[in-house]
Amino acid sequence: MTTLTPGSLDELRDAVLDRPGSVRVAGAGTAADWAGTPAPADTVLSTAGLTGIVTHNPGDMTVEVRAGTPFAQLQEELGEHGQRVAVDPARAAEGATLAGLFATADSGPRALQYGSLRDLVIGATIVLADGTVARSGGHVIKNVAGYDLTKILHGAHGTMGVLAQLVLRLHPTPQATATVAVPCDRAGMADLARRVADTPVEPTAIQWHADRLLSLVEGSERGAVSRAQRLVDIVGGELLAPDDATAAWDAHAAAVRARPEGRAVLRFGVIPAALPGVLDGLADAAEVTVSPRTGVATVALPADPDVVAAAHRRVADAGGTSSLRQRPAGAELPAFGPAPASAALLRHVVTSLDPDQRFGRGRLAPWVPLPETTGVSA
């Protein structure tokens, strides 16, 4: 297996053209054990050489960034201009790259207010399996041309094409943040979160972890604290001191990143009303962190194929989706739940964009089977 580290778009295109056979795209490696187990590849394409900002338009609040740029580095550079990409994935602390986060559909608690990278990426430059350089979207936020190709690669785990550059919509960095913590067990989590959401405070994030509901408020120096105090007056709890607030959110992020020994980590999403029932049915779940207003949860389960498959089925029965995030080395566990009807469309798209299935073989299995089982030539 050969590893290539192109340093430019031209070098990336040439690498795809010059290296026949299967290709695995690698970023910082923080999600190497997510989704399906990758099949052996002839070539590994590292995005480590594709870093840095291409164009930043502070007035338009957009930025174009090379795919291998560490997300934390991008945020630091944008912060010098009072701007940010308004997502807060836990893996950023491990050096996760922008394209890696996009390819794995990773986000964070602020998705309640701002959505995921799927909502914030407004354009992309992509190298397809035949070496075609495709560009979609751009720096104009209302420009809808080509959005679909970019969105197809969100959560595609390095299949169908290689992300070279991304254009993102930015938001201002808040002057201040404040966090309210309310003690709450899992049984009362959903009702309390609903009460918080019904207040006029408009929290940026609502997250349940370690028997506390955390509500994040952003705004001006005076406004953030006064709104947070109003939330305390309405629902109870306490306004955390800045250091305690930082520790609380860091603990949540650490739980998301955790690799508990002998356990698998599953992330799933359902409609918020179905979330308590799904969690109640996962008797073996531990290390739970939940966003009760978006319906997204991360749980640790025994690394047993039957247990993981049962969890996938329970989520699917509730109309949701789930994917494996982290597993013990060598564990053969189902990456996804029962294939939905849309899996046939997914296979058609994969065949259209990458007919030989060069990129990311195995990542979307069994929804997208390996070529040997589909009749696609290797």
Model pLDDT for residues 152-183, shown as the tens digit of each residue: 999 999 999 999 999 999 999 999 999 999 99
pTM above 0.75, yes or no: yes
Q: Are 87 and 111 in contact (CB under 8 A)?
A: yes
Q: From 279, 291, 364, select the one nearest 323 (Cα to Cα).
A: 364
What is the SS3 assignment for 103? helix
* Dihedral of alpha carbons 309, 117, 99, 17, sign: positive
pLDDT at 375 over 50: no
pLDDT at 146 over 70: no
Report which of residues 377 and 250 the model is more confident about. Answer: 250
The pLDDT > 90 percentage for the chain reads 89
For residue 40 the two structure tokens come to: 């052996």
pLDDT of residue 155: 96
What is the rounded CA–CA span in Å between residue 125 and residue 328? 34
Q: Which residues, including other chains, have CB under 8 Å from residue 266's CB and lie 6 or more apart?
A: 298, 299, 300, 301, 308, 311, 312, 322, 323, 324, 325
Give the 3-state DSSP-derived string for 307-321, with helices as H, strands as E and coil as C.
HHHHHHHHHHHCCCE
Q: What is the third-level CATH fold of 176-254? A: Alpha-Beta Plaits (3.30.70)
176-254 with 258-324: one CATH topology? yes
What is the rounded CA–CA span in Å between residue 174 and residue 32? 33
139 confidence band (pLDDT: 50, 70, 90): low
What is the rounded CA–CA span in Å between residue 150 and residue 134? 10
Model pLDDT for residues 82-93, shown as the tens digit of each residue: 999 999 999 999
pLDDT of residue 285: 87
287 confidence band (pLDDT: 50, 70, 90): confident
Model pLDDT for residues 42-73, shown as the tens digit of each residue: 999 999 999 999 999 999 999 999 999 999 99
378 confidence band (pLDDT: 50, 70, 90): very low
The mean pLDDT of 230-242, rounded to a whole number, is 98
Q: What is the third-level CATH fold of 258-324? A: Alpha-Beta Plaits (3.30.70)
Q: Taking the domain 50-172, which CATH number applies?
A: 3.30.465.10
How many C-beta neighbours within 10 Å does residue 84 have?
19
Domain boundaries, the chain: 50-172, 176-254, 258-324
Q: From 140, 136, 134, select the one nearest 151 (Cα to Cα).
A: 136
Q: From 365, 378, 374, select the one nearest 37 (Cα to Cα).
A: 365
- In the chain, DSSP finds a helix count (H) and a strand count (E) of 13, 18
Model pLDDT for residues 101-134, shown as the tens digit of each residue: 999 999 999 999 999 999 999 999 999 999 999 9
Report which of residues 236 and 142 the model is more confident about. Answer: 236
What is the SS3 assignment for 16? helix
